[in-house]
């Protein structure tokens, strides 16, 4: 089973940047499309960015042009560069497969506030 560990969250002012990281155990990671999800208080978890095993990316309209997803298959790592952050980006961020989800990690809290 794949274990996912997210890190890199924190408190940032509007307009600021953060880089999230996700460490995945197991070799199956490199063959799966992966995504970053987020869940804000009182809201459902949503998928914000996806990257295929070959590196093709796709983004939710709410983050397009501001967030960049990337991966390093050799290191079993997934990343999310977040720029021009807005208060509405405040949420717990999780990584997981695009389909046939693995067990969820603990997530990493991102808070955008002045």
- Say what percent of the chain tops pLDDT 90: 91
- The answer to whether the beta carbons of residues 43 and 90 sit under 8 Å apart is no
Whether the per-residue pLDDT at 27 is higher than 90: the answer is no
Mean of per-residue pLDDT scores for the chain: 96
- Say what percent of the chain tops pLDDT 70: 100
Question: Sorting pLDDT into bands at 50, 70 and 90, what band is 77?
Answer: very high
| pLDDT score of 26 | 81
Query: Residues with Cβ < 8 Å from 17, sequence gap 6 or more?
Result: 81, 82, 83, 84, 85
β-bridge pairing 108-112 and 77-82: unpaired
Question: Sorting pLDDT into bands at 50, 70 and 90, what band is 74?
Answer: very high
State how far the Cα of 80 lies from the Cα of 59, in Å rounded to an integer.
11
Q: Which residue has the tokens 């990343």?
A: 79
- Scored b (16 or more CB within 10 A) or e, 46-79 reads eebbbbeeeeeeebeeebeeebbbebebeebebb
Whether the per-residue pLDDT at 50 is higher than 90: the answer is yes
């Amino acid at each position: 089973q794949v274990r996912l560990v997210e890190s890199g969250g924190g408190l940032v002012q509007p307009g600021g940047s953060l880089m999230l990281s996700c460490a995945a155990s197991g070799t199956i990671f490199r063959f799966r499309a992966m995504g970053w999800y987020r869940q804000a208080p009182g809201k459902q978890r949503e998928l914000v960015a996806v990257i295929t095993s070959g590196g093709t990316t796709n983004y939710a309209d709410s983050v397009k042009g501001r967030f960049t997803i990337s991966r390093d298959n050799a290191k079993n790592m997934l990343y999310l560069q977040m720029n021009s952050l807005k208060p509405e980006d405040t949420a717990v961020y999780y990584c997981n497969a695009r389909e046939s989800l693995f067990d969820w990690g603990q997530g990493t809290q991102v808070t955008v506030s002045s």
